[in-house]
Structure 1
Amino acid sequence: MQPFRRTLRSPLQDHDPQPGAGGFAPHVAPKEGAPAKGLQQHPSALNNDALAPLLSILPGLRLMVGLVIAMVVIFGLYVGRNVLLPLALAALLGFLLDPAVSRLKRWGLPRLLSVVLVVMVAVGGVGAGALYVGSQATVLSAELPTYQNTIRQKLRNLKDYFKGPSVFDGAFKVFNTVETEIALPESGKPKPARAQKVEIQEPAAKPLQKAMDVFAKVGEPIATAGIVFLFVILILLDRSDLQDRLLRLMGRNMHMATDALGEAATRIGQYLRMQLFVNLSYGIPMWLGLWVIGVPGAALWGALAAVMRFVPYIGPMISAVFPLTLAFAVDPGWDLFLWTLALILVLELISNNIIEPWLYGSSTGLSTLSIILAATFWTALWGPVGLILSTPLTVCLLVLGRYIPALGFFEILLGSESVFDPPQKLFQRLLGGNVDEAVDVATRRIDEELPAKPTQQDTARALTRFYDGVAIPALKLAAHNYVNQSTAEHRLRLSVGTAELVEELRDHYPPAKPMQTGAPGTEEGKAGQQADAAPLILCVGLRWDIDVQAAAMAAHALQLYGLPAAHDAEALPVFPRDTDLNAWAGLRAVCICSFHPHPQTKLRQLCKRIRQRWPELGIVVALWNTETQVLDPEAIRSIQADYGVRTIDELALRIQVESGNEQLVQQAVKPEIPADEAKRLKALSKSGVLHAAHLEHYREAAIQACNAFQVPWAYVAWVDKDWVYMPGAVFDSADNQLAQSGMARADALASFVIADGAPLVIEDTQRNPRFARNPHVDSLGVRFYAAAPLRYRRGAVLGALCILDRVPREMSADDLKVLESMAEDLMKSLEDSHGTPASLPVSDPARGKAS
């Protein structure tokens, strides 16, 4: 390995510029009742002590108030069900019909006329379906008497069958004998007189009374239907006004209210549409299957099956009773009944296990248990109609819990998503001592990213992504409470568990054989040939146990890349002496890992001692839990270190680039060619994305990206065999030439998106050796880069949607999802449009000018 470049600094200062910034000892508060020495107790402290008993009961009061509010709301829902039920049904139908109204309005019809047409079509369809079903039921009822003999004969056969001898006859006989003996009266006592039954008959109801009873039974559903019909029309007519009122009611945070209302509408509308498709995919095959089998009224039972599936759980069972009963009554044998039963079972299996998961996906976001509990709750509250409305109403509660902090427990209790993200889940398993579950979490995560036949490089990248994305963030969670909240037992579990986790991962993913570091024939090359005997890169922890475990992870990742690395199982001494550092003879670089938020003072003292003992030793500091400015090159040089990294990926790239091994250098800085490159290039040519007709799409996408992420540059990159096209790029005026001409594939950052097939985020290009020497990055002054892949059919990555900035930035997971969503929308718009073949208005120096 070539010597790391050293930068001399001014004489070392013995104190940190920020008071307490580099201290590692926790602050010890004075004992209760003992004021700090030399200080007088502030009067507000006395007030806080007096309020302490009241503050301690606040959580209990808050819980009690919440329970009282919940009871009042539930009581109000039950008492006001006669008013709330029609309103809820109308809102549900409004979600279902509003897309059709909006479509007609976009076609130029007034909203009133659109509402009238949609409602008339809906009512007409329901009425026609009811008339058809009624006519089928009338025909079927006229034919039922002809099946009486068959039914009677089958029942007799079943009765004779159950009367025959069975294995339980002896048990029944003994039970009957015991029951008779218990019921016999005692000898010598007179038998009680036999009671006579008296039947009370009410006088026959008068015709007027009968008419009133019938009207009471029929009138209530008719009145409810009329109210629902009126509410549906009003909701469709005043949709915008109602939406504004709901937004105003939800508070002054317009962003939160808009997102909540939009998500609720999207989820409920998608759920209803998917439910309709699922029901039709069940009812139509039911109709055709019963017709082929020969069950009378097949169309009636198919329609009933489709409608009853709107009622969760109970509806399918009720709809299956009628065709089974009719098949039992029609056929003297059992063939028709068994074929009907087999048809229903097959359709249920296909619908429940294939169609519903495929169509629903994550449309509701509810867990299976929450759907069952919601169905039980709303049925008990509002009856059968509550069962139909249970899922949409529960979706509304889920969305409210997602956007209103006070109702966040709804998202935890009802949502289908995991309540812990992967780092939190791993941290909890390690904290609880469940090492086996932690290993399962890790291996499952790593194996998901590995291809079918992974190479050593694939394994190294997948494990590095796990360490950077899950393991290191889990240790950061531990670092936040390492002193204040963690007990000795917690720290012991975490330390032992993390060590066992790393050891298990080393067994699952063994290190590669170290490559020779240094150029062949040089002193570095000769030293690299002895890599098996003595490692050249040592990873050490600065102070805490979690620092040591992070060093073990870093060493494992470096070994997977073929680098001769090892780690020290103990943290560095607070003030290392030369005798402590003598064991580092022969090392080329040392990586110091730290989770402390302010390690500058300690690192400055440590690096000074290392420089005095080993002046040519390369020093890399891995600061997992500090602010971005601490990793600035000037700040790193001020503590006499060579480089600062924030991820294991940056560390591996830095060591590879500085190794002096050309193979390792090319492996780090040169993007790989995908295994399916020929198919990808064929898809690029076939897709038509290089047509000039799409230029405006690319320009709009770049402008939207600039506005959404507040960056000065954005562009769409299409990666060809040797060239990257950048049509419609939004650049500063001085960079228009680059935007018009594109660049060679070897220099394009988008080439790494093609190689990995995944989003790419570079928070600071100067810290990443892969891009620090890129000529375009240097000329443009790019410090931040993020890109989302543009996927064609069957997942082929043709290019990337890229954003750039002149200053380092951090990108959250939610922002990255937005960028990926924009890339997906762009590809959908390109696939929906059909441009004519033409050359792009860019020039390729290797191919000449394009027209």
Structure 2
Amino acid sequence: MHNENLSSTQGNATARSLKTMAGFVIAAIIILALYVGQEIFIPLALSILLAFLLEPLVSRLKRWGLPQVPSIALVVLLALSVLGGAATYFGFQLSKLSQELPKYQDTIEQKLTSVQSYTSGPSVWDGAVSTLNTIQSSIASANRSDETTDPNVQQVKVVAEEASSMDEAMQWAGRIFGPLATAGIVFLFVVLILLSRKDLHDRLLRLLGGNLNVGTDALDEAATRIGTYLRMQLLVNVTYGIPMALGLWMIGVPAALMWGLVAVVMRFIPYAGPMISAIFPITLAFAVDPSWNMVLWTLGLILMLELVSNNIIEPWLYGESTGLSTLSIILAATFWTSLWGPVGLILSTPLTACLLVLSYYVPALGFLKILIGSEPVLTPQQRFYQRLVADDVDDAMEVAEDYIAEGLPKKATPEVVVRHVNDFYDNVAIPAIRLFSNSHNTIASAEHRLRLQQGLKFFNHAFQQKYPAPANDSDIKVLCIGARWEVDILSSAMLAHALRLRHVAAQSHAEAFIQSQVDMMAEIPSDIKILCISIFHQQPLAQIRLLQHQIGQQRPDLELVFATWGNDEDEMRLEAKNRFDVEVVSSVNELLLSIDVLLMQQGENPARQLLNDNEAERLEALHELQLLQPDNLPIYEQYIDEARQAFDVKYAQISLVDEDWVNTPASPLYAQNEHPMEAKVPRQQCVCSHLVYQNEELIIEDIARDPRFARNKRLGQEKIRFYAGVPLRNKQGLVMGSLCILDKKVRSLSEDDVVLLKALADDLMTTLSSSRDKQAKLEEIEALQQAQVVHEAP
């Protein structure tokens, strides 16, 4: 048996090695083919690039009613006219400059003489220069002495044959007509690509495999990234070239407009382009002005434009248009330049962006996503864990701040900041400790364990100072305590901080309950009503049984909430609740909500009423919109059906939150025997009341785990387990209600799904607003007509 396992392992290793070698061979063949066939591939790549730029114009003309062929012809002619006009302008300006340059000969000689006199004068480098010259002369004389001086040896000098006038003419013709032929081939390819775009799209889909969904997403993403990159690059270059032309004109540099156009074109070349475009105006300023003022002003203008463009314009317009890291862009520029020369430098970023998109959809290219992508290769919890294990608490703090700041509005309310902090605890800190807990006795060394424990202590202290909890003079209601070991204690300190941020009087204990050397029950004050116990163990039932027995004997009045961070299985939770009658949670959000429910049962209300300060303004706007008009019923039915079909859920619902009731027009969940526009539910029983209070989307993957709604009778009757809702906002941004989807099974939504649901909600409100405006206009016309009839009556 052992030999069979060993041979199987060796066979798998051999297969992986052969697969890797085959991958390298295929890559080498592809690179060789690109190099050998560059005369074919370069025009093809350039034409695809131009097609990406011109296709939006063709599509716009087709939407305006122009047929496809005239649209393509018009756009291509426009592109040729622009390029031809620019080339003509460049030729005219260059010829003009060539005629004027002799005028500046004296200025150039004068400046060169002054520079030479400055450099030839005594300086601190004279000694080093003299030494180098001496060494160079010695080496040169030694080389001359080694050469043969035999007079009998005949010296041979090779003289090249002079080329005839016909040869020179052919050489010049090749230099002129070669690029023109390449340009003609490029535009021919552009026309063919634009004419057969749909057919090429279908063929690429077929090449990507039989999954049309994945293939469509891959091609759409590639087209979006490359098209966005090219358009944004053009916009960035124009915002650089126009100020440059104006600035050079004000400084007095000749042909200022031409140098602005040169900057627009040259900045398509990564890194080298801006430097090349800056050389020409600086050189001309050096030649024109006898003083150094024009050179300095030109240099200052270029530096200022570079700073503004690189630090303000490009980050604002680009965003993550290509998804490539800076290092990968530099490496790609080096690779494609060595392969295809200057043209490869221009094409490097779009071609590499295509490879990046393919890496997301082709498993064999998955390594490229890690090597060249700009997205972090580690999740936030992995980065947080790694920073702590590396004994870098400052970087761990930076990970936490970046996560909290992501998506945080500039003028965020304290409640929003608290939600983001608690999300960090829930989605980053606790999962990172879980990673450590799972590797505690396997791959983690003693030094790793020491670093993480010490790092978490320092992090907790710094983090709670960065996000201090408001002062609370009330008696402590909740005590957070660790069950067995150090990470239990550290996580309990996080929970106490999260509770205090929500205005719940809570504190944590510095010792673990089971391993404490003192009587822990004596350490618990008598006014404590809720005990929250953190457990990082994959099989926590034994610890729950032990702790429930010890605590229940002495303090039966204590409400126990067990946070089982290492195990979130439903079977374990149900067994613990049935056997020991305790609350079991596995996330920070669940724990906070459970504490809220327990405190409300004890007469407290830490979460406050679900009413915002602008509730009166919101209700007034809701009534003004008149959303419950019977004419809106078809609109509601349409969007409910679209949401239900798009997300493949049992129910979709539109909720309009009034003062005491939530209207659910056309809802299949609450309508029953009522009129479709009159279906409603009490506000305190509706999930969307919390969404309106939060003023943002609300996703509940498992309602049975949410203490706020676990006992909701209506949801329980329909066996609803999943809820995802997004706000319905008016033009002023006030939340009128929600568009939500519900299902009978536990689900999750991706970020793209949430974006799509928000788009549906925004489109619904736009449609309702247009319908209301149209109705108001009709009523106004009708009123005017009636007034006119009354006026004309005898």
**TM-score class, shorter:** 0.7 to 0.9
Secondary structure of 1:375's partner?
Answer: helix
Q: Contact 2:618/2:736 (CA < 8 Å) preserved in 1?
A: no
> 541, 550, 557: which one pairs with 2:491?
550
Q: Which residue is 2:590 aligned to?
A: 650
Q: In 2 relative to 1, CA 453–382 (structure 1 residues): closer, same or farther, beyond 3 Å?
A: closer
Secondary structure of 2:160's partner?
Answer: coil
- Deviation for aligned residue 1:362: 1.0
Q: Which residue is 2:724 aligned to?
A: 786
Larger deviation: 379-388 or 784-793?
A: 784-793
Larger deviation: 709-718 or 245-254?
A: 709-718
Q: In 2 relative to 1, CA 429–51 (structure 1 residues): closer, same or farther, beyond 3 Å?
A: same
The answer to whether structure 1 residue 213 and structure 2 residue 171 are counterparts is yes
Letter in 2 for 1:151: I
The answer to whether structure 1 residue 803 and structure 2 residue 740 are counterparts is yes
2: CA distance, partners of 1:495 / 1:170: 60
2: CA distance, partners of 1:173 / 1:326: 34
- Deviation for aligned residue 1:823: 1.3
1: CA distance, partners of 2:467 / 2:307: 40
> 385, 389, 399: which one pairs with 2:357?
399
Q: How does 1:632-671 map to 2 (within 5 A)?
A: 635-659=575-599, 664-665=604-605, 667-668=606-607, 670-671=609-610
Larger deviation: 577-586 or 207-216?
A: 577-586
> 278, 283, 303: which one pairs with 1:320?
278
Q: Deviations over 1:427-466 (max 9, x none)?
A: 2122333333223323454466888899876665443222
Q: Contact 1:515/1:563 (CA < 8 Å) preserved in 2?
A: no
The answer to whether structure 1 residue 120 and structure 2 residue 77 are counterparts is yes
The answer to whether structure 1 residue 229 and structure 2 residue 229 are counterparts is no
2: CA distance, partners of 1:680 / 1:166: 77
Q: Contact 1:539/1:591 (CA < 8 Å) preserved in 2?
A: yes
Q: Which has the higher contact order (CA 8 A, sep 6+)?
A: 1
Q: Deviations over 1:565-617 (max 9, x none)?
A: 4445555549x999886766835333333344454465356545654554443
Secondary structure of 1:295's partner?
Answer: coil
> 46, 54, 58: which one pairs with 1:101?
58
Letter in 1 for 2:210: R
Q: In 2 relative to 1, CA 582–354 (structure 1 residues): closer, same or farther, beyond 3 Å?
A: closer
Secondary structure of 1:769's partner?
Answer: coil
Q: Contact 1:657/1:664 (CA < 8 Å) preserved in 2?
A: no
- Deviation for aligned residue 1:270: 0.5
- Deviation for aligned residue 1:695: 7.4
Q: How does 1:616-635 map to 2 (within 5 A)?
A: 616-627=557-568, 629-630=570-571, 635=575
1: CA distance, partners of 2:139 / 2:345: 47
Q: In 2 relative to 1, CA 459–86 (structure 1 residues): closer, same or farther, beyond 3 Å?
A: closer
- The TM-score, its normalising length taken from structure 2, stands at 0.84
Q: Which residue is 2:779 aligned to?
A: none
Letter in 2 for 1:803: C
Q: Which residue is 2:762 aligned to?
A: 827
The answer to whether structure 1 residue 159 and structure 2 residue 116 are counterparts is yes
1: CA distance, partners of 2:43 / 2:140: 55
2: CA distance, partners of 1:191 / 1:462: 83
- Deviation for aligned residue 1:246: 1.3
Q: In 2 relative to 1, CA 489–59 (structure 1 residues): closer, same or farther, beyond 3 Å?
A: farther
Q: How does 1:160-559 map to 2 (within 5 A)?
A: 160-169=117-126, 172=129, 200-446=158-404, 460-510=418-468, 516=474, 529=475, 531=476, 537-541=479-483, 545-559=486-500
Letter in 1 for 2:86: G
2: CA distance, partners of 1:829 / 1:111: 33
Q: Deviations over 1:512-550 (max 9, x none)?
A: 55564xxxxxxxxxxxx5x4xxx7534332x56544433
2: CA distance, partners of 1:686 / 1:310: 52
2: CA distance, partners of 1:656 / 1:769: 9
Letter in 2 for 1:652: L
Q: Which residue is 1:523 aligned to?
A: none
Q: Deviations over 1:88-121 (max 9, x none)?
A: 1111112112222222333333333332222222
Q: Contact 1:539/1:592 (CA < 8 Å) preserved in 2?
A: yes
| Root mean square deviation, CA, Å | 4.3
Letter in 2 for 1:258: T
Secondary structure of 2:378's partner?
Answer: coil
Letter in 2 for 1:279: N
Q: Contact 1:621/1:641 (CA < 8 Å) preserved in 2?
A: no
Larger deviation: 73-82 or 604-613?
A: 604-613
Q: Which residue is 1:150 aligned to?
A: 107
Q: In 2 relative to 1, CA 52–463 (structure 1 residues): closer, same or farther, beyond 3 Å?
A: same
Q: In 2 relative to 1, CA 159–432 (structure 1 residues): closer, same or farther, beyond 3 Å?
A: closer
- Deviation for aligned residue 1:811: 1.7
Letter in 2 for 1:104: L
2: CA distance, partners of 1:820 / 1:458: 20
Q: In 2 relative to 1, CA 99–177 (structure 1 residues): closer, same or farther, beyond 3 Å?
A: closer
2: CA distance, partners of 1:463 / 1:432: 23
Q: Which residue is 2:612 aligned to?
A: 673
Q: Contact 2:739/2:761 (CA < 8 Å) preserved in 1?
A: no
- Deviation for aligned residue 1:335: 2.9
Secondary structure of 1:315's partner?
Answer: helix
1: CA distance, partners of 2:228 / 2:562: 50
Q: Which residue is 1:28 aligned to?
A: none
Q: Which residue is 1:37 aligned to?
A: none
Q: Deviations over 1:221-254 (max 9, x none)?
A: 2332232222212211121221122122122333
Letter in 1 for 2:110: Q
Secondary structure of 1:770's partner?
Answer: coil
Q: Which residue is 1:734 aligned to?
A: 672
2: CA distance, partners of 1:592 / 1:190: 91
Q: Deviations over 1:716-741 (max 9, x none)?
A: 55667887666676656428658646
Q: Which residue is 2:783 aligned to?
A: none
2: CA distance, partners of 1:807 / 1:600: 29
Q: Contact 2:727/2:761 (CA < 8 Å) preserved in 1?
A: no
Secondary structure of 2:652's partner?
Answer: strand
Q: Which residue is 1:769 aligned to?
A: 707
2: CA distance, partners of 1:273 / 1:685: 44
- Deviation for aligned residue 1:211: 2.3
Secondary structure of 1:288's partner?
Answer: helix
Letter in 1 for 2:578: S
1: CA distance, partners of 2:645 / 2:591: 33
Q: Contact 2:469/2:500 (CA < 8 Å) preserved in 1?
A: yes
Q: In 2 relative to 1, CA 742–134 (structure 1 residues): closer, same or farther, beyond 3 Å?
A: farther
Q: Contact 1:693/1:836 (CA < 8 Å) preserved in 2?
A: no
Q: How does 1:607-622 map to 2 (within 5 A)?
A: 607=548, 610-612=551-553, 614-622=555-563
More helix by share: 2
Q: Contact 2:245/2:256 (CA < 8 Å) preserved in 1?
A: yes
- Deviation for aligned residue 1:488: 4.6
Q: Contact 1:89/1:228 (CA < 8 Å) preserved in 2?
A: yes
Q: In 2 relative to 1, CA 625–250 (structure 1 residues): closer, same or farther, beyond 3 Å?
A: farther
Q: Deviations over 1:370-418 (max 9, x none)?
A: 1111111110111000000000011011112222232222111211121
Unaligned runs of 5+ in 2: 777-794
* Corresponding residue pairs, total: 772
Q: In 2 relative to 1, CA 469–680 (structure 1 residues): closer, same or farther, beyond 3 Å?
A: farther
> 592, 606, 625: which one pairs with 2:533?
592
Larger deviation: 734-743 or 228-237?
A: 734-743
Larger deviation: 591-600 or 397-406?
A: 591-600
Q: Which residue is 2:650 aligned to?
A: 712
